[in-house]
Amino acid sequence: MSKLKGLYSHQKNTQQKHTQHKALFLDRDGVINVDHGYVGHYDNFDYVEGIFDVVRMYALAKYKIVIVTNQSGIARGRYTEADFHVLMNRVKQDFADKGVPEVAVYFCPHHVEGSVPEYVINCACRKPKPGMLLQASQELGIALYDSVLIGDSWRDIEAAHAAGLKKSIYFSENAIPAGASIEGVRKVEALQQLTAIE
């Protein structure tokens, strides 16, 4: 698939010399929208309180805004890839209306326990693997070590760490897992706690 081709080309390319941008990476379900489980349509998309303020703060500080989201609902047949694109086009328009005109979206439609054969693969993009972040870095000219990720699952934090990010925000009511050794993680339970750039 094209997404995997992008990952492979990243591995072959030498370090590019174009401008390196900082990025705010965002998980989707549980960070941007309330995680109702397999959200594939706009009528079930409820924004998490405070998300627009946080994203606008980073955008104004010249961070690229990049959504990186596991979407196993596609592999499981809960909604289609086309449904996902329709939904995310509406979401990008909502961000534009709130003063954030440029939002990139990377997604993983795969799951080894899926029911749609073309998506039932052990891919390189499903978090906690770092594939989506690496692809975004290659395609958008992102300096991963200067970037920040907000995720509500520890696998988001693991993906950020594997990609070379030095800072992540664990947005969860759950404790950091016992024995976790990833440094540079800030835990918050409300997005309103994020009042300055990390």
13, part of any domain: no
Cβ atoms 91, 39 nearer than 8 A = no
58, part of any domain: yes
27 is catalytic: yes
The total number of structural domains that make up the chain: 1
Contacts of 19 (CB under 8 A, 6+ apart): 141
User: Residues 27, 43, 53, 97: which is the catalytic one?
Assistant: 27
15, part of any domain: no
pLDDT at position 15 is 43
65, part of any domain: yes
110, part of any domain: yes
Collapsed DSSP state (helix, strand, coil) of residue 23: strand
How far is 109 from 15, CA to CA, in rounded Å?
28
93, part of any domain: yes
Residue 14 has pLDDT above 90, yes or no: no
Show the tokens assigned to 134.
């690496």
Show the tokens assigned to 167.
């800072």
106, part of any domain: yes
Show the tokens assigned to 144.
């991963």
Share of the chain above pLDDT 90, in %: 90
Give the tens place of pLDDT for each residue, 159-178. 999 999 999 999 999 999 99
Average pLDDT over residues 28-52: 98
30, part of any domain: no
- CATH number, residue 60: 3.40.50.1000
Residue 144 has pLDDT above 80, yes or no: yes
Q: Where are the beta strands (DSSP E) in 36-156?
A: 64-70, 103-108, 148-151
Report the alpha-carbon angle 45-84-171, nearest 5. 50
Residue 179 has pLDDT above 70, yes or no: yes
For the chain, give the mean pLDDT: 92
29 is catalytic: yes
Q: Which domain holds residue 113?
A: 54-120+129-177+184-193
Give the tens place of pLDDT for each residue, 60-115. 999 999 999 999 999 999 999 999 999 999 999 999 999 999 999 999 999 999 99
